[in-house]
């Protein structure tokens, strides 16, 4: 399973690292209102749920693995594109912007590699010429 899908596993691990660990940070940030905390937790939770779905699909060798990976990869790219624009155009320190742009690029690259990996595995073999 892991040998066959190393980029999928990497995307899941990265997602847990970036988003699931963020939940604690959200709830310890005294500058956020309760509504902001819940909204940000919902976003982080959406990534966690998608990552868990990918793990379940991997473990079960489910036919819907491609769908789960596609959803996680697409959501990662979409959210990071929106967040990157917001972060880059807001009044943040340069270091904060750079760190978040690196997170965005890493997430997009891993999402693309994971998607390509499951699409390749799911594709029928071409007959020899």
pLDDT tens readout for residues 43-72: 999 999 999 999 999 999 999 999 999 999
Indicate if the pLDDT at residue 125 is higher than 60: no
pLDDT tens for 70-114 read 999 999 999 999 999 999 999 999 999 999 999 999 999 999 999
pLDDT band at 4 (very low <50, low <70, confident <90, very high): confident
CA distances from 66 to 11, 32, 87, 122 (A): 13, 37, 31, 8
């Amino acid at each position: 399973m892991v040998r066959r899908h190393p980029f999928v596993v990497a995307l899941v691990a990265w997602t847990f690292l970036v988003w699931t660990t963020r939940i604690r940070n959200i709830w310890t940030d005294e500058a956020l209102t309760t509504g902001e905390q819940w909204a940000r937790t919902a976003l982080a939770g959406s990534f966690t749920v998608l990552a868990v779905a990918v793990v379940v699909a991997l473990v079960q060798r489910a036919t819907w693995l491609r769908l789960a990976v596609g959803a996680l990869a697409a959501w990662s790219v979409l959210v990071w594109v929106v967040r990157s624009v917001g972060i880059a155009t807001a009044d943040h320190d340069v270091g904060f912007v750079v760190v978040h742009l690196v997170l965005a690029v890493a997430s997009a690259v891993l999402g693309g590699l994971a998607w390509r990996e499951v699409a390749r595995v799911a594709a029928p073999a071409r007959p020899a010429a």
